[in-house]
Amino acid sequence: GGQVGEGQGGGGGSPRFVPTAAWLAAVKNELPLATLLRLVQHLVPQIDELVRRGGGQVDDSSIIKFLVNTTMVGLLPVPHPIVIRKYTPNRYTGLWFSAFLWGVVFLNNQSMPLFDGTTIKLFTVTVAPPSS
């Protein structure tokens, strides 16, 4: 990994991280750069051609205009479809929802003396004896 070296500058002398070539290679392998690299490989030749046609004198606004008018359809990967799942109720989600809802009601009514906070129990803990 990276190395920890002495801090530069003012007091404290706290250790400072210094990246190494091996650390950088490991981090680069973990980054999801495939889509960006594909995009850059596609756009660089087109921008080079734009610069060549402009005689080497192209300003930022013309490059941005070119990028705005360039389509990436078919170049970039298709996003995953959105999966819609229906809620199927069960005892545990019903218990959770009920406890959550009563908790919200209780907390939203703290300014009025609607509830006595010392007598409300949102849940109980039952300790069962070990089975033999």
pLDDT of residue 21: 93
Give the torsion sign (CA, 109, 113, 114, 116): positive
pLDDT of residue 20: 92
| Contact indicator for 1, 23 with CB cutoff of 8 Å | yes
Between strands 3-6 and 15-18, the pairing is: antiparallel
pLDDT of residue 55: 84
Residue-wise pLDDT for 67-126, tens only, equals 898 888 888 778 888 999 898 889 999 999 999 998 888 887 776 555 566 666 666 767
pLDDT of residue 78: 81
Give the torsion sign (CA, 102, 105, 110, 115): negative
- Please state the separation of Cα 85 from the chain's center in Å: 22
